[in-house]
A and B are shown apart, each in its own frame.
Chain A
């Protein structure tokens, strides 16, 4: 786990200020997408070794939801972007 997260709004902040929600690589299906799509969205998660995108909430900071791309093996943090940025919407 990283010690510091570089929030795009607040700068580098200690990880204790954040709350991790989980996989940000999944997209909320359309309401009529069908049972399989919804089952996958709600219950199925990859557990990758290596690069992984996650939703982190800057709970004790700017209160923005962020997409943190980090390495689950080396703990390196590659990118931190706002979750509302184009291309990041869940």
Chain B
């Protein structure tokens, strides 16, 4: 048979043919096809090779559990490996490739692995690891990697976009089969906010392939009516192509929506996939049930298919499974498939039913072999026939298709994502999850219900109960209560007497003997057996295989499946693409970029930028002819100390502090005194952690009686804000104090150097002479003849006469331009954080290189700043601990090489002169270092035992990483202008 598509019937739209390719071969399907159904329609049953043994494999299911039909979709950056052909909606221009085959799926050299199969059994990986490690790495792993595996990811970037969204509803219904539709309809009619999520491209679930009438009416009409009514309800949202993949705390569900995975022409303005986080007040899990395969020899030969899948392909896409079909079942659903096949005139060679009392109600043509089993399916790349064991005699039946049904397992994954354990039910012959958990009710086939009418009633009734718990008392069931007419058969876990390999886990090539081996070798516990055999791993996570494996382990251990139990269900229910998980957080959107209001000013002045956290800060400003960063930095430093420089300091954290208790509050969060700071003055402050270590430093100015302006270091801006808020809200809520971060509101410009006052005075309307505006002055000023108001601070990090001028962010560039213009005759230059760093080291000013979480104020020479009179401040109590007063604490000291032509690196350790390099002899370490163009030498700040008492002592600076030793001398950390003459100039 070249085409398996029947001339009429099904839900496909024959007026809309869709061209696609499989392994490069052009094919055609219809709108309404999945890739799997379209491949079947084109006579393509063999679609892949198995993981270990490279056995030919065909399409086994029609849904999410598909273990075999994994294909690679798309080209280039859109290549997507391991997609289940059963879930791929066919579209025009789709390109699909089979996987794990070489050179082709029809002729695969890797199939030689089948000959090696004795070596690839259960525990193979573990046993092989016992061999010499080199043997594994050089011999086995490369061979296995080449021979075993799934599809390959592309190395090209994904050109598409993805997004993440929130959704909220009263009732979330997961699954749009009979129970889900009934629940959604019930809740929709009650006027509640409903989300109905379903993985298919068309709502209906198993109703889409149901032919039996419901309540005397054709199923298709019932389905169409429900969907039409739901679609018209403004309070109901139907999310098609949306798989709910996890249930999380707070009754939040994760779902992934395929937005544009069904087209070859992607609209770049829309995401291709969208992750939803759905906050549901109540939810109903109506995820249906999974049909179990039967475990007999050759149950993986292409042509063997789940009976329910066969029925789905027949009724939805008008696909005939073959010319002659055998049904092997221990359950009523095999008969439904047989009846539908016969109804369209297809031949059923036999119905093999393992039950002795089979099929009293069968009225079809096919003969029934009751109490018989298929022991082996025969064939290679396609099914040729089956061997049936019937009352002790074997019989061979020719067939090119075999539909199998081993009963149904409720799909309870999501209900077990938050810790609930599945419980074995002898009545239902299935593992069931607790039917009602807080916020989640299981309905329909997922709750073990069999018949369609009972599922409709169950979904409707459970929706009413869920809504009543939310206070919606007006909800009435859309379908009246109905008893379940379905019967449950005793499970048939395995067939005895098979000659061929009987597969349990298709995707991992785990067969019956592997599980037997696991039990006999002591790995019969369900969790151990999973790891030992790999049953239930890989992309399908054992959706088809787990329950059979549990049953087989139970039989082998001679216990009930209840005693074996299940492995743990964890999100995600089905695999998620990395693209969806990443969402918009990729490329330049991976993290925000923070740019100072003076960024463009710095850029046009030629700045080289450096990333500091999220910020881009100007690092230095090379002039033409300068070839190294050091040349630029040295020039900037020398020019500032001689003339003037301008630097962007806008990235410092800025916090406005208001309230009548603001001064008292600052007095408690700083270790030094702030209560009596006069209005119009700035003060350097040290903030401690509660353990006494310095947390952050900065200047805080009093701009009014009840208004302070705090600056923090760039790195700790957010942390300090959180800390202040904690202190104010959680520790001292009785204090009247409020905070507002204004980091982004102000452009802040440092102007430093002996000519800085001269330059700034041309812009500032007020007198800023030393008398009128002395060191540590802080006040609001008028600029440019009253055109603008700014804040001026006379503070200095460089040790020069210096100011910081803050203006509203939008005016930053204009003011910086004006300062540059005014400074031109005085030789002003822009400078960056490198020059700033050199000048602060020259002055012995500390940063977070020294404030590294291990230092207390006295370690940095700030002992006198710590108030002894304040009753309390953060860190006070712990500062008096024994270790904090030890006299050999690492303390701040300067260090410079004896020979200025030698140098050392930050992080190097200090050894006493002549001491053997060892950690025992370690005296401390260099915390900051740079080349000082003013001293013509490398200089450093170091934290050294007894540091302040050792000025003048010769030491060795030891860099063990580079095996470098530099003779050096300890000295005052203030290398430049120790009298602060320039600062007060």
A interface with B by C-beta (< 8 Å):
1-4, 12, 14, 19, 21, 24, 28-29, 31, 33, 35, 38, 41-43, 55, 57, 59, 63-65, 74-75, 77, 82-84, 88-90
> Given A14-B166, A75-B249, 16 more contacts at CB 8 Å?
A2-B249, A3-B279, A4-B250, A4-B279, A14-B277, A21-B726, A29-B877, A33-B877, A42-B878, A55-B726, A55-B730, A65-B725, A65-B730, A74-B419, A83-B729, A90-B730
The answer, yes or no, to whether B248 is at the interface (CB within 8 Å) is yes
The contact sample of 23 A-B pairs, CB cut-off 8 A, is A3-B249, A4-B249, A4-B250, A4-B252, A12-B279, A14-B166, A19-B722, A28-B690, A28-B731, A29-B877, A31-B871, A31-B872, A31-B877, A42-B690, A57-B725, A57-B726, A64-B725, A74-B419, A75-B418, A82-B729, A84-B729, A89-B733, A90-B731
Contacts of A41 in B (CB 8 A): 690
Query: Interface size bucket, B side?
Result: 20 to 34
Contacts of A29 in B (CB 8 A): 877
Q: Once the chains bind, are A42 and B252 in contact (CB under 8 Å)? A: no
The answer, yes or no, to whether B744 is at the interface (CB within 8 Å) is no
In angstroms, Cα B220 to Cα A55, docked, is 56
The answer, yes or no, to whether B691 is at the interface (CB within 8 Å) is yes
Contacts of A75 in B (CB 8 A): 249, 418
Shortest CB distance B310–A (Å): 41
Q: Once the chains bind, are B729 and A65 in contact (CB under 8 Å)? A: yes
Contacts of B878 in A (CB 8 A): 38, 42
Q: Once the chains bind, are B881 and A35 in contact (CB under 8 Å)? A: yes
Q: Which residue, of B277, B691, B731, has the highest number of chain A Cβ atoms within 10 A? A: B731
Q: Once the chains bind, are B277 and A3 in contact (CB under 8 Å)? A: yes
Of B248, B419, B729, the residue contacting A64 (CB under 8 A) is B729
Bits for B711-743, please: 1 = Cβ < 8 Å to A, else 0: 000000000001001100111010000000000
Of B251, B730, B876, the residue contacting A31 (CB under 8 A) is B876
Q: Once the chains bind, are A89 and B730 in contact (CB under 8 Å)? A: yes
Q: Once the chains bind, are A3 and B729 in contact (CB under 8 Å)? A: no
Shortest CB distance A2–B (Å): 5
Contacts of A19 in B (CB 8 A): 722
In angstroms, Cα B721 to Cα A19, docked, is 13
B interface with A by C-beta (< 8 Å):
166, 248-252, 277, 279, 418-419, 690-691, 722, 725-726, 729-731, 733, 871-872, 876-878, 881
In angstroms, Cα B418 to Cα A2, docked, is 12
Given contacts A31-B876, A64-B729, A65-B725, contact A3 B881 (CB under 8 A): no
Contacts of A63 in B (CB 8 A): 725
Contacts of A35 in B (CB 8 A): 881
Contacts of A59 in B (CB 8 A): 722
Shortest CB distance A52–B (Å): 15
> Closest chain B residue to A35 by CB distance?
B881
Contacts of B722 in A (CB 8 A): 19, 57, 59
Q: Once the chains bind, are B730 and A83 in contact (CB under 8 Å)? A: yes
Contacts of A3 in B (CB 8 A): 248-252, 277, 279
Contacts of A31 in B (CB 8 A): 871-872, 876-877
Q: Once the chains bind, are B249 and A1 in contact (CB under 8 Å)? A: yes
Q: Once the chains bind, are A2 and B725 in contact (CB under 8 Å)? A: no
Shortest CB distance A48–B (Å): 18
Contacts of B730 in A (CB 8 A): 24, 55, 65, 83-84, 88-90
Contacts of B877 in A (CB 8 A): 29, 31, 33, 38
Contacts of A43 in B (CB 8 A): 691
Contacts of B690 in A (CB 8 A): 28, 41-42
In angstroms, Cα B722 to Cα A65, docked, is 9
> Closest chain B residue to A37 by CB distance?
B877
Shortest CB distance B524–A (Å): 30
Shortest CB distance A59–B (Å): 7
Contacts of B249 in A (CB 8 A): 1-4, 75
Given contacts A4-B252, A14-B166, A42-B691, contact A65 B726 (CB under 8 A): yes
In angstroms, Cα B881 to Cα A38, docked, is 10
In angstroms, Cα B879 to Cα A35, docked, is 11
Contacts of B279 in A (CB 8 A): 3-4, 12
Q: Which residue, of B279, B419, B877, has the highest number of chain A Cβ atoms within 10 A? A: B877
Contacts of A65 in B (CB 8 A): 725-726, 729-730
